[in-house]
Amino acid sequence: MTISPQDRMKISRHPMPARDPEVRIRCFEEVALGYDEHTAREEAMRCLQCKRPYCVEGCPVSIDIPAFLREVVAGNIDKAAAIIKKTNSLPSICGRVCPQETQCEERCVLAKKGKPVAIGALERFVADYDRQFGLTKQQVNVRPSGKKVAVVGSGPAGLTAAGTLAQMGHSVTVFEALHEPGGVLVYGIPEFRLPKEIVREEVSSLLDLGVEFNLNVLIGRTLTIDELLGDGYSAVFLAPGAGVPQFMGIPGENLNGVSSANEFLTRVNLMKAFLFPEYDTPVYCGKRVAVIGGGNTAMDAARTALRLGPEKVYIVYRRSEKEMPARREEIEHAKEEGIEFLCLTAPVAYLSDSRGWVTEMECIRMELSEPDESGRRRPVPVEGSNFRIPVDTVIVAIGAKTNDLIVKATGGLSVAKKGYLLVDPQTQMTSRPGIFAGGDIAGGEATVIAAMGQGRVAAQSIDRYVRER
């Protein structure tokens, strides 16, 4: 079927169908529902099949976007899936969580005049269809190399490296500190945005490839890197994420009712506290909740809190909405669900009752001045603009720091600013030969796709490294 560019441009972007806000704020079911086959085809038809596809340049793993969209239009979903999987082994996940508006879709030529092709939604459609009908199967086509590789951490970077290395014929063991694999995908990102079933399926496809998972092992304490290297592992890939929550250091931050987003989300997602008391772990969520921050973590914490039934949930962010680093879709979903945004506002202290529970939050208004090193305009407090809001729950989501556990327990690893592991960007090798690193610990962009991209690059250089030995 041929269709002229003019006709293609007449089709308007198909919105992602979503569960009704009234319904979804009372459950943890997935919010975005995904395209059906017909909508997917119509949407894929909007792609102009550019000679020079800028969209591909916007994708950190360079998926051949026009090629897979062409196959969607032709109805060859299996071929579309195969194209995506050449460079992205977790497309069901990326289709859901990639910040498309600053990556592939931002660069799409259609974005200049109107709305870009919904690449993320289409990637999700293809990947889900592929999973549902088992169209593509990853398999090991090469002879076993006889080499053992250890992967530390089972977030997107670790999972990707493990899968890639297994397909190259290496025998891979993943060491994970928690009792479930997936990293932020299981403990951070909530069920209503990324069903855990999908992560479990991805993990089980790695099991099919022969990858071994060793859970409840904290590298640096249960086992050291040097022990791994002495135990027949030819190389180690470090992907422990950057999981230490930051606090602001303001008065009252240790009061009862104040927690980090990591703690709050871990209780709910990993420990299933939303099913308490069927599950043993509780989570505290009062009636008036303030979430501090403007990133994905803040949106996730706010929307998770909302589903636990409070009267009011605020997002408190020191810059304006425009500067919020969260995905656009999450910001919109949060607003639809009734979360109130207090932008250009920063907490300065939390006040408590006599039992040590937070009761009030003192804030100050902010205004934006010149851009700082991150290129965003720097917020400065407006003198004398302090005001108070009653709150009984505060969730701090202002970013993460690196954990120095592994570095302390391992000799010879050089670190860069803020404790990030220093790696050669070409190979992801650290300052110690045979030890590679990627994902958030290597100071990437802190996105799932960037972590995966580094996991892939690392797998390729690990493959070269171990074969040379």
Ligand X SMILES: Cc1cc2nc3c(=O)[nH]c(=O)nc-3n(C[C@H](O)[C@H](O)[C@H](O)COP(=O)(O)OP(=O)(O)OC[C@H]3O[C@@H](n4cnc5c(N)ncnc54)[C@H](O)[C@@H]3O)c2cc1C
Return residues touching ligand SF4 (CB under 6 A): 47-50, 53-55, 59, 61, 63, 65-66, 88, 94-95, 98, 100, 103-104, 108-110, 117, 119-120, 123, 449
Interior/surface letters 177-191, b for 16+ CB within 10 angstroms, e for the rest: bbebbbbbbbbbbbb
Minimum CB separation of residue 250 from ligand SF4 in Å reads 36
Give CA separation, 144 vs 158, 171, 233, 249, 460, in Å. 20, 8, 15, 52, 16
Residue 208 in contact with residue 160, Cβ under 8 Å? no
| Measured distance CA(38)–CA(324) in Å, rounded | 34
Q: How, if at all, do strands 345-352 and 340-342 pair?
A: unpaired
Q: How, if at all, do strands 288-292 and 377-381 pair?
A: unpaired
Show the site string, 273-312: x = touches other proteins by CB under 8 A, - = not: ---xxxxxxx-x----------------------------
229 sits near other proteins (criterion: CB under 8 A): no
Find which of ligand SF4, ligand X, other proteins, none residue 119 binds, CB within 5 to 8 Å per kind.
ligand SF4
Q: Would you say 28 or 68 has its CB closer to other proteins?
A: 28
What are the residues whose beta carbons fall under 8 Å from the beta carbon of 257, sequence distance 6 or more?
Answer: 284, 286, 357, 358, 391, 392, 393, 394
Give CA separation, 11 vs 6, 66, 75, in Å. 9, 17, 18
406 sits near ligand X (criterion: CB under 6 A): yes
Could you say which DSSP state residue 378 is in? E
86 sits near other proteins (criterion: CB under 8 A): no
Q: Would you say 62 or 224 has its CB closer to ligand SF4?
A: 62
Spatial strand order in the sheet of 312-316: 258-260, 393-396, 288-292, 312-316, 340-342
Find which of ligand SF4, other proteins, ligand X, none residue 266 binds, CB within 5 to 8 Å per kind.
other proteins
| Measured distance CA(399)–CA(262) in Å, rounded | 10
Return the range that interacts with ligand X (CB under 6 A); candidates 21-29, 79-87, 149-157, 304-312: 149-157
355 sits near other proteins (criterion: CB under 8 A): yes
Interior/surface letters 146-175, b for 16+ CB within 10 angstroms, e for the rest: ebbbbbbbbbbbbbbbbbbbbbbbbbbbbb
Find which of ligand SF4, other proteins, ligand X, none residue 65 binds, CB within 5 to 8 Å per kind.
ligand SF4
Q: Would you say 158 or 347 has its CB closer to ligand X?
A: 158
Return the range that interacts with ligand X (CB under 6 A); candidates 53-61, 181-189, 360-368, 378-386: 181-189
**DSSP letters of 442-466?**
GT--S-HHHHHHHHHHHHHHHHHHH
Number of residues that bind ligand X (CB under 6 A): 41
**DSSP letters of 43-88?**
HHTT----SS-HHHHHSTT---HHHHHHHHHHT-HHHHHHHHHTT-
| Measured distance CA(428)–CA(438) in Å, rounded | 6
239 sits near ligand X (criterion: CB under 6 A): yes
| Measured distance CA(439)–CA(446) in Å, rounded | 7
Q: How many CB atoms lie within 10 A of CB 29?
A: 13
Smallest Cα–Cα separation from 296: which of 139, 141, 445, 158? Answer: 445
| Measured distance CA(54)–CA(110) in Å, rounded | 10
Among 243, 293, 294, 379, binds ligand X (CB under 6 A): 243
Q: Would you say 58 or 79 has its CB closer to ligand X?
A: 58
Among 17, 356, 411, 433, binds other proteins (CB under 8 A): 356
235 sits near other proteins (criterion: CB under 8 A): no
Return the range that interacts with ligand X (CB under 6 A); candidates 56-64, 211-219, 334-342, 347-355: 211-219
Q: Would you say 108 or 397 has its CB closer to ligand SF4?
A: 108
| Measured distance CA(64)–CA(78) in Å, rounded | 15
Find which of other proteins, ligand SF4, ligand X, none residue 153 binds, CB within 5 to 8 Å per kind.
ligand X
Amino acid identity of 423? V
Among 120, 155, 163, 252, binds ligand X (CB under 6 A): 155
Among 47, 59, 166, 219, binds ligand X (CB under 6 A): 219
Find which of ligand SF4, other proteins, ligand X, none residue 103 binds, CB within 5 to 8 Å per kind.
ligand SF4
Minimum CB separation of residue 69 from other proteins in Å reads 39
| Measured distance CA(326)–CA(99) in Å, rounded | 8
Minimum CB separation of residue 296 from ligand X in Å reads 3
254 sits near other proteins (criterion: CB under 8 A): yes
136 sits near ligand X (criterion: CB under 6 A): no
414 sits near other proteins (criterion: CB under 8 A): no
178 sits near other proteins (criterion: CB under 8 A): yes
Which residues lie near ligand X (CB under 6 A)? Answer: 97-99, 152-158, 175-178, 183-184, 188-189, 217-220, 239-241, 243, 265, 296-297, 300, 327, 405-406, 439-441, 446-449, 451
The residues of the shown chain that bind other proteins, judged by CB under 8 A, are: 177-179, 187, 215-218, 221-223, 243-245, 247, 249, 253-257, 259-260, 262-263, 266-267, 271-272, 276-282, 284, 355-356, 403, 405
